[in-house]
């Protein structure tokens, strides 16, 4: 019962609701299920749609990136096209890059092809003007150009901030130097008003891409134009736009810093005196001439800071820049005590790292505005190729030890690394400075390089046409050997520690501790310069030993005694050593000279028979027939200096055994009737006249002549400045005179009627005048023979100097002129009496007699024969170092002198070897621009014509190919502070071709501003020509400077000197970039580019407050005639290595869009209403073109590989990919 009740209750419980719900329940259930199903379906559909959408986005994202890669690929292809060699074009092409384009020129220089590095409907042009004129249409935003142009520099505005992908136009207001744009050139450009409204559109054409990758552009009707037409099956799927910037147009933050100019002191002015005083220390790269660290960052970071950057603020900049240290001379204001310790910061991998470096000090130093605009002007990755015009390696300007026989330093090893390709070294090696042949014969690589260079110079210079062989004719191998020897004779006293090939240290060995290097001689009997002495002058010195009343009398009693009309004379044969390798370190001579044939000289003599009968006959003067003489140290005398140049005769003859003296000769009458002859002078390295050590033979043909009769000296001399007096008889013996010639020389005194030319008395009250060491007295007769042209470089580089070179001076046969000589002293032309080329005084033709028409101080006359001015047509002479007079020198590299006596090293007389504190290869040699003083006409005997590395109208060096292109065959690798140079490339160079296509309305010459900022060219005004070389030895003596002189120096001269020394006369001035760059603008306006960086040598470096016009019409240099070519060319030598015309790194700015065509839209058109842009990408990719240095390149110096070059070895890599997503 209970159970039944329970069951029924359960049933009821179960049934009751059913009872209540059974009507329509099925429907409800079904509806419920359907609803659930619906939800499920909706969920599935929603999820799947979302999935599809995100998959599309993903796919579009990938597609847009691939499209971006396409844009980069196109840019790479364009660069490849422009930088390769064209096998169907005869000859070798040369290319030059600029932001947005590469231009290719044929061998003869004609334009071949313009390759645009931006998207355009014509990606190449064959007419050069078509490049610069391809400016985007001003109304590029109009309907006509709709969908055809896109602004690559369109900003993104976000929260009161505006971000530009390429260039922020605020840079103009901020004042970045060298930057400007024409806001009226294209629609939308704006540089005034609210900063948020500044715009600088950079529109380029869209390239539309079909589904199969075919490319085209839209025509005026908006229709796709390409190789194929767009179809429904192959519609437009995207569009790309790009523009490649040239990274070498920007300043590299890894190599540049802030310069403090330094140069070898060249004349009296405050800056040069300070250069001697505060020489750059080791690791002070920012002061090494020509080093990339001398390129300034201030045009971007501190614009218009001219003069405002203090030494202290520069020090802060150095702290920011990797591997550049502070300290040293502290901006040229102190002596460096220790080498600068450079930091070991790693280099900036990208410019962003520089901009965003978390450095507090930098935050104080560099304004946020500077950083905001920096990206367009600074880079961390610029590099330029270092190949010669024929696409082969360049030869390094740094000599290397011939390992393992001669050790190398760490610097040398880096140089060797940079100069090696495929295991073949392209640098001069050396081992033996003494031998004129060992470094040639024993080092076969040197011969190979020389022959290769000569072969290359027989080829047309691509882009110019013409060969150096045609231009220099037989002088070509001479020039090539001259360069070889110039390099070999560089760095004679290397202060860096030497390392064995196994890495162990070894004792230092100087290549030439005495500074003397025997000129190399090859099998063609051509000779380099080495660093050696030749002779610039020979002479006959006649003195009277006795006459009928006084003096030395002949032996043999009264019969033989001189009668009133008779005289006893002695004659000395004088030789003046000269070295064109003037400068430091000291040149300590180690040579001997053998003279043959002097015995052929005869004069009319009086023969006295035993009975006293007189007969006259022409007899031998009894010079020795053949004698070898080894002079003592040429610098070891009062006023002796070891800097080369004209070394005077005093120290040469100052030996007890000077052999070239006649016996005493009895003569009579008023004149000497001289009969000359042939003489051979041979110069040998070392003490013995060994054939294998013979350096040079000079043939002389001494003509007959009739000279005045010397008079007997009738008085001695008083003591003066540390040297005792002499009695009268001292002067009657030529051997005595010569033996004492190292004493105090002649100090101009009363014998010069001009009061300004007299020296003051010394502290003891002793008067100047003829002194013990003076060799000549006014009663003597001197005749001399000099190279007819006065350019002693032509003599120095000849193994055999023919007898036509040395000729007598103009007054040789003048019986009224006692002195006709150019014997000088190392310290000046006034210390030997009778110097005979003083305009207006001893020589006529005032304007053309001296080296230049300037009025020189009598003590600093160039040692050249009268009439030199008429031959020195182009100003191809060198200014000596510091106070050293000007002449025909070869601009040898300055190895430094840290002597501090009298405070001013270089100017003071003494020398102290630089230590490791001052040593650096890059301080010594900035570039091949140093070669500019090598003569181009040694064999053709074309005097005063050297390699032309500066603008100079009318100079033969301008003939095609211009001389400056010769520089392109050499390079100086930059190995400090890190390997800025690698084989075939150097970082941090600035492209001269800053013209930006197609955006020619934007000017970015900032990089060149950075380069030019480092230079302070020297120009010596004509009114300083009397004092620019004056030092303490003029009227006074050490330690007084001319402005402090107690003597009777002309007050006007003293004032001028004081003005120069105190900086009141600006002889050095910074370069005015705007005025200088006018020449660049003219070049661009003429639709041309610079093909080689050496073309900088064709442009004037206009200095502050000067006008280009005056340089062009010649009036500027007419007002600065004493400025030597080495000084004029120095700035070019410093600038050239920091310039390029070919970039290896490009940043491709891209903008790409993936398009999905609407169903109804025309597949060949872009309709913004119907088509959808489903993917967008903006960014930039950096591309580098490089040669693999470790590849197995052939030996280009091998004649078998004559046709080989590196043009097919270039490859590309993508360095950095950056998306623009501010």
Partner 1 sequence: MRNFSSRESGGFSLLEVLFALGIIATVGISLIGLIPSGFDTVRRAGDLSVIARIVQTISSDALSSDWEEYAEQFSSNGTMVRYFDDQGNALERSGLRNHIYTASIELAGASTSASAASATSLPGDEKMRIDRSRDLRRILIRVTNVPGELGGEALKGGENSGRISNHFVIVPNLNPIEKVEAP
Q: Which residues inside 42-61 make contact with partner 1, applying CB under 8 A?
A: 44-45, 47-49, 51-56, 58-59
Residues 6+ apart with CB under 8 A from 902: 908, 909, 1032, 1038, 1039
Cβ(542)–Cβ(575) below 8 Å: no
Which of residues 51 and 1082 has its CB atom nearest to partner 1 in the complex?
51
For the bound state, the minimum distance from the C-beta of residue 691 to partner 1, rounded and expressed in Å, comes to 51
Residue in 9, 62, 524, 804 binding partner 1, rule: CB under 8 A:
62
Which parts of 845-864 interact with partner 1 (CB under 8 A)?
Answer: none
Q: Which is nearer to partner 1, 60 or 878 (CB)?
A: 60
Q: Shortest approach of partner 1 to residue 218 CB, angstroms?
A: 11
Q: Which of 261, 259, 250 is nearest to 1131 (CA)?
A: 261
Q: Give least dist CB 212 to partner 1, A.
A: 6
Given the complex with partner 1, which of 18 and 1200 has the nearer CB atom?
18
Interface with partner 1, residue 120, by CB under 8 A: yes
For position 872 contacting partner 1 by CB under 8 A, the verdict is no
Structural contact between residues 955 and 999, judged by C-beta atoms closer than 8 angstroms:
no
Q: Which is nearer to partner 1, 63 or 1015 (CB)?
A: 63
Tell which phi-psi region holds residue 1199, choosing left (phi > 0), alpha (psi between -120 and 50) or beta: alpha
Q: Does 91 bind partner 1 (CB under 8 A)?
A: no
Q: What span, in angstroms and rounded, lies between the C-alpha atoms of 454 and 476?
A: 7
Question: Which CA distances in Å does 1139 have to 117, 251, 543, 986, 1000?
Answer: 21, 11, 60, 10, 21
Distance CA 928, CA 340 (A): 27
Closest CB to partner 1 among residues 70, 1123: 70
Give CA angle at 910 (908, 916), nearest 5°. Answer: 105
Give whole-number Cα distances, 812 to 58, 364, 786, 807, 824, in Å: 97, 74, 11, 10, 18
- For residue 247, the minimal CB distance to partner 1 (Å) is 18
Q: Does 78 bind partner 1 (CB under 8 A)?
A: yes
- Tell me if 873 contacts partner 1 by CB under 8 A: no
Strand 819-820 relative to strand 781-787: parallel, antiparallel, unpaired? parallel
Q: Residues 311-350 vs partner 1: string with x where CB under 8 A?
A: ----------------------------------------
3 state SS of 584: coil
Shortest approach of partner 1 to residue 60 CB, angstroms? 8
Q: Which window, 146-154, 172-180, 206-214, 312-320, contacts partner 1 (CB under 8 A)?
A: 206-214
For residue 225, the minimal CB distance to partner 1 (Å) is 8
**Does 1217 sit near partner 1 (CB under 8 A)?**
no
Least distance (Å) between residue 347 CB and partner 1 = 24
User: Closer CB to partner 1, residue 1101 or residue 1206?
Assistant: 1206
Counting contacts by CB under 8 A, is residue 583 touching partner 1?
A: no
Residue 211 contacts partner 1 per CB under 8 A: yes
Can you give the length of the chain in residues?
A: 1222
Nearer to partner 1, 74 or 917 (CB): 74
Phi, psi of 441, rounded to the nearest 5 degrees: -75, -35
Neighbours of 1159 (CB within 10 A): 6
157 binds partner 1 (CB under 8 A): no
Give the chain's largest Cα–Cα span. Answer: 197
Q: Which residue of 188, 222, 226, 1189 would you call a contact of partner 1, by CB under 8 A? A: 226
Using the contact rule CB under 8 A, the part of the chain among 25-33, 403-411, 802-810, 945-953 near partner 1 is 25-33
**For residue 569, what are its two tokens?**
């004379």
The token pair at 331 is: 């901006």
Q: Rule CB under 8 A: say whether 133 interacts with partner 1.
A: no
The nearest distance, CB 1186 to partner 1, in angstroms, is 10
Selected binder of partner 1 within 6, 7, 8, 122 (CB under 8 A) = 122
Query: Measured between alpha carbons, how far is 20 from 17 in angstroms, rounded to an integer?
Result: 5
Smallest gap from Cβ 27 to partner 1, in A, equals: 5
Min. distance of Cβ 1206 from partner 1 in angstroms? 9
Task: Give the Å distances, CA to CA, from 540 to 568, 573, 783, 810.
Answer: 16, 5, 5, 15
Options 1, 4, 26, 613; binder of partner 1; rule CB under 8 A:
26
Q: By C-beta, is 59 or 1170 nearer to partner 1?
A: 59
The structure tokens listed for 764 are: 């003891």
Residue 1083 backbone dihedrals phi, psi, to 5 degrees: -60, -45
Q: Should residue 1213 be labelled a site residue for partner 1 when binding is judged by CB under 8 A?
A: yes
DSSP code of 309?
Answer: S
Cβ-based neighbour number of residue 592 at 10 Å: 19
Binding partner 1 by CB under 8 A: which of 7, 37, 367, 1158?
Answer: 37
Q: Is 368 in the site for partner 1 (CB under 8 A)?
A: no
We find the least distance from the C-beta atom of residue 1137 to partner 1, in angstroms, to be: 27
Q: Indicate the residue among 479 and 1187 with the shorter CB distance to partner 1.
A: 1187
- The torsion angles phi and psi of 648, rounded to 5 degrees, stand at 75, 175
Indicate whether 24 belongs to the interface with partner 1 (CB under 8 A): yes
Task: Report which of 136, 85, 142 is spatially closest to residue 112, judged by C-alpha positions.
Answer: 85
Task: Check binding of 1212 to partner 1 (CB under 8 A).
Answer: yes
CB of 387 to partner 1, least distance (A): 14
229 in contact with partner 1 (CB under 8 A): no
Binding of partner 1 by 223 (CB under 8 A): no
Of 81 and 552, nearer to partner 1 (C-beta) is 81
In the region spanning residues 3 to 22, those forming contacts with partner 1, defined by CB under 8 A, are 15, 18-19, 22
* N-terminal to C-terminal alpha carbon distance within the chain: 87
Interface residue with partner 1, options 66, 229, 437, 628 (CB under 8 A): 66
Closer of 1159 and 1213 to partner 1 (Cβ) = 1213
Among 186, 202, 207, 908, binds partner 1 (CB under 8 A): 207
Question: DSSP string of 174-218?
Answer: HT-TTEEE-TTSSTT-B-SS-GGG-B---EEEPEEEETTS-EEEE
Minimal distance, residue 436 CB to partner 1, in Å: 43
Shortest spacing between CB 1029 and partner 1, in angstroms? 55
Cα separation, 1061 vs 356, in Å, equals: 45
Contact 331, 236 (CB under 8 A): no
What string of DSSP letters covers 954-1005? T-GGGSSSPGGGGGGGEE----SSS-SEETTEEES-EES----SS-TTEEE-
577 neighbors 642 (Cβ within 8 angstroms): no
Query: Closest separation between CB of residue 1219 and partner 1, Å?
Result: 17
Taking CA atoms, 146 is separated from 150, 220, 231, in Å, by: 9, 9, 22
| Smallest distance from partner 1 to CB 1212, Å | 4
Q: Which of residues 1183-1202 bind partner 1 (CB under 8 A)?
A: 1187-1188
Q: What burial letters (b/e) apply to 434-461, b meaning 16+ CB within 10 Å?
A: ebbebbbeebebbebbbbbbbebbebbb
Give residues with Cβ within 8 angstroms of 440, minimum separation 6: 446, 447, 520, 521, 522
CB of 116 vs partner 1, minimal distance in Å: 9
Number of shown-chain residues binding partner 1 (CB under 8 A)? 76
Smallest separation, CB 86 to partner 1 (Å)? 4
> CA dist 630 to 520, 654, 659, 949, Å?
21, 11, 10, 39
The answer to whether 744 contacts partner 1 (rule: CB under 8 A) is: no
Q: Which stretch binds partner 1 (CB under 8 A): 306-314, 824-832, 1090-1098, 1205-1213?
A: 1205-1213
Nearer to partner 1, 134 or 547 (CB): 134
């Amino acid at each position: 019962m209970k159970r039944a009740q329970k069951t029924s209750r359960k049933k009821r419980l179960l049934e009751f609701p059913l009872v209540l719900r059974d009507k329509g329940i099925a429907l409800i259930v079904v509806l419920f299920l359907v609803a659930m199903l619906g939800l499920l379906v909706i969920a599935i559909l929603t999820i799947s749609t979302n999935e599809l959408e995100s998959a599309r986005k993903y796919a579009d994202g990938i597609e847009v990136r691939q499209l971006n890669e396409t844009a980069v690929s196109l840019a790479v292809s364009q660069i490849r096209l422009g930088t390769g060699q064209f096998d169907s074009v005869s000859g070798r092409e040369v290319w030059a890059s600029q932001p947005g384009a590469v231009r290719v020129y044929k061998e003869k220089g004609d334009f071949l092809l313009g390759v645009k590095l931006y998207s355009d409907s014509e990606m190449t042009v064959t007419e050069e003007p078509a490049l610069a004129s391809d400016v985007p249409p001003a109304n590029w935003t109009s309907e006509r150009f709709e969908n055809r142009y896109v602004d690559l520099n369109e900003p993104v505005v976000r929260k009161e901030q505006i971000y530009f992908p390429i260039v922020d136009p605020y840079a103009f207001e901020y004042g970045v130097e060298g930057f400007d744009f024409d806001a009226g050139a294209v629609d939308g450009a704006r540089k005034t008003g609210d900063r948020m409204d500044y715009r600088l559109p950079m529109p380029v054409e869209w390239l539309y891409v079909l589904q199969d990758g075919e490319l085209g552009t839209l025509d005026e009707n908006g229709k796709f134009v390409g190789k194929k037409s767009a179809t429904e099956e192959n519609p437009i799927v995207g569009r790309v736009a790009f523009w490649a910037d040239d990274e070498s147009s920007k300043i590299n933050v890894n190599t540049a810093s802030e310069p403090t100019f330094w140069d070898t002191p060249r004349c009296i002015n405050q800056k040069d005196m300070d250069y001697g005083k505060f020489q750059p220390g080791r690791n002070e790269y920012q002061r090494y001439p020509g080093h990339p660290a001398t390129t300034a960052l201030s045009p971007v970071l501190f614009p218009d800071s001219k003069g405002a950057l203090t030494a202290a603020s520069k020090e802060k900049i150095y702290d920011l820049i990797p591997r550049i240290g502070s300290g040293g001379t502290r901006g040229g204001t102190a002596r460096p005590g220790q080498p600068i310790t450079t930091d070991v910061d790693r280099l900036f991998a990208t410019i962003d790292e520089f901009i965003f470096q978390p450095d507090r000090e930098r935050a104080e130093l560099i304004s946020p505005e500077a950083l905001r605009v920096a990206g367009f002007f600074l880079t961390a990755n610029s590099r330029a190729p270092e190949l010669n015009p024929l696409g082969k390696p360049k030869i390094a300007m740094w000599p290397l030890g011939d390992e393992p026989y001669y050790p190398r330093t760490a610097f040398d090893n880096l140089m060797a690394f940079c100069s090696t390709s495929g295991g073949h070294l392209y640098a001069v090696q050396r081992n033996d400075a003494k031998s004129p042949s060992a470094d040639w014969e024993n080092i076969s690589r040197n011969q190979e390089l020389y022959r290769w260079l000569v072969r290359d110079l027989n080829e047309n210079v691509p882009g110019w046409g013409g060969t150096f062989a045609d231009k220099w004719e037989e002088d070509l191998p001479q020039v090539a050997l001259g360069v070889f020897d110039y390099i070999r004779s560089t760095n004679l006293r290397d202060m860096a520690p030497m390392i064995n090939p196994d890495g162990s240290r070894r004792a230092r060995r100087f290549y030439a501790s005495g500074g003397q290097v025997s000129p190399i001689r090859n099998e063609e009997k051509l000779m380099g310069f080495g660093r050696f002495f030749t002779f610039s002058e020979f002479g006959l010195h006649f003195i009277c030993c006795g006459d009928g009343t006084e003096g030395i009398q002949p032996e043999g009693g009264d019969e033989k005694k001189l009668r009133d009309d008779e005289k006893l004379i002695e004659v000395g044969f004088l030789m003046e050593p000269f070295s064109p390798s003037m400068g430091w370190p000291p040149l300590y001579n180690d040579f001997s000279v053998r003279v043959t044939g002097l015995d052929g000289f005869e004069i009319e003599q009086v023969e006295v028979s035993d009975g006293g009968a007189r007969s006259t006959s022409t007899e031998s003067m009894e010079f020795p027939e053949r004698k070898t003489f080894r002079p003592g140290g040429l610098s070891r005398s009062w006023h002796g200096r070891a800097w080369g140049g004209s070394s005077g005769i005093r120290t040469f003859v100052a030996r007890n055994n000077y052999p070239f003296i006649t016996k005493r000769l009895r003569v009579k009458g008023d004149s000497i009737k001289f009969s000359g002859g042939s003489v051979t002078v041979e110069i040998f390295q070392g003490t013995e006249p060994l054939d294998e050590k013979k350096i040079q033979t000079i043939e002389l043909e001494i003509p007959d002549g009739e000279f005045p009769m010397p008079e007997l000296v009738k008085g001695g001399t008083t003591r003066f400045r540390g040297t005792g007096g002499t009695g009268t008889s001292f002067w009657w013996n030529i051997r005595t005179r010569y033996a004492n010639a190292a004493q105090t020389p002649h100090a101009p005194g009363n014998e010069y009627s001009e009061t300004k030319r007299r020296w003051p008395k010394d502290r003891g009250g002793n008067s100047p005048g003829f002194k013990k060491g003076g060799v000549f007295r006014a009663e003597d007769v001197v005749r001399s023979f000099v190279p007819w042209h006065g350019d002693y470089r032509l003599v120095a580089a000849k193994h055999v100097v023919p007898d036509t070179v040395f000729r007598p001076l103009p007054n040789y046969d003048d019986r009224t002129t006692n002195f006709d000589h150019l014997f000088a002293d190392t310290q000046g032309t006034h210390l030997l009496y009778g110097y005979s080329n003083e305009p207006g005084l001893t020589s006529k033709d005032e304007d053309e007699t001296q080296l230049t028409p300037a009025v020189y101080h009598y003590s600093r006359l160039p040692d050249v024969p009268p009439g030199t001015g008429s031959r020195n047509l182009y100003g191809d002479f060198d200014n000596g170092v510091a106070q050293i007079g000007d002449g025909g020198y070869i601009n040898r590299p300055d190895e430094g002198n840290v002597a501090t006596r009298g405070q001013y090293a270089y100017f003071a007389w003494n020398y102290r070897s630089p230590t490791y504190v001052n040593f650096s290869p890059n301080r010594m040699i900035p570039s091949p621009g140093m070669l500019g003083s090598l003569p181009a006409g040694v064999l053709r005997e074309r005097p005063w014509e050297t390699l032309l590395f500066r603008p100079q109208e009318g100079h033969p060096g301008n003939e095609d190919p211009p001389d400056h292109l010769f520089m392109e065959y050499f390079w100086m690798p930059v190995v400090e502070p890190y390997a800025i140079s690698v084989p075939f490339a150097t970082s941090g160079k600035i492209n001269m071709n800053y013209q930006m296509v197609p955006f020619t309305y934007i000017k970015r010459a900032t990089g060149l501003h950075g380069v030019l900022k480092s230079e302070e060219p020297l120009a010596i005004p004509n009114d300083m020509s009397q004092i620019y070389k004056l030092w303490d030895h003029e009227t006074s003596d050490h330690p007084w400077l001319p402005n402090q002189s107690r003597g009777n120096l002309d007050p006007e001269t003293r004032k001028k000197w004081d003005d120069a020394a105190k900086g009141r006369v600006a002889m050095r001035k910074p370069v005015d970039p705007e005025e200088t760059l006018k020449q660049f603008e003219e070049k661009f306006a003429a639709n041309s580019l610079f093909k080689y960086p050496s073309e900088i040598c064709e442009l004037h470096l206009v200095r502050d407050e000067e006008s280009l016009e005056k340089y062009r019409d010649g009036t500027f240099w007419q007002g600065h005639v004493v400025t030597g070519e080495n000084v004029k060319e120095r700035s070019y030598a410093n600038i050239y290595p920091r310039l390029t015309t070919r970039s290896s790194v490009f940043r491709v700015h891209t903008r790409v869009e993936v398009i999905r065509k609407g169903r109804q839209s025309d597949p060949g058109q872009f309709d913004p209403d119907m088509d959808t842009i489903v993917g967008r990408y903006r960014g930039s990719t950096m591309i580098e073109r490089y040669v693999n240095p470790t590849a197995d390149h052939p030996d280009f110096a091998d004649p078998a590989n004559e046709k080989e070059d590196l043009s097919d070895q270039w490859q590309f890599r993508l360095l950095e990919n950056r998306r623009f997503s501010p």
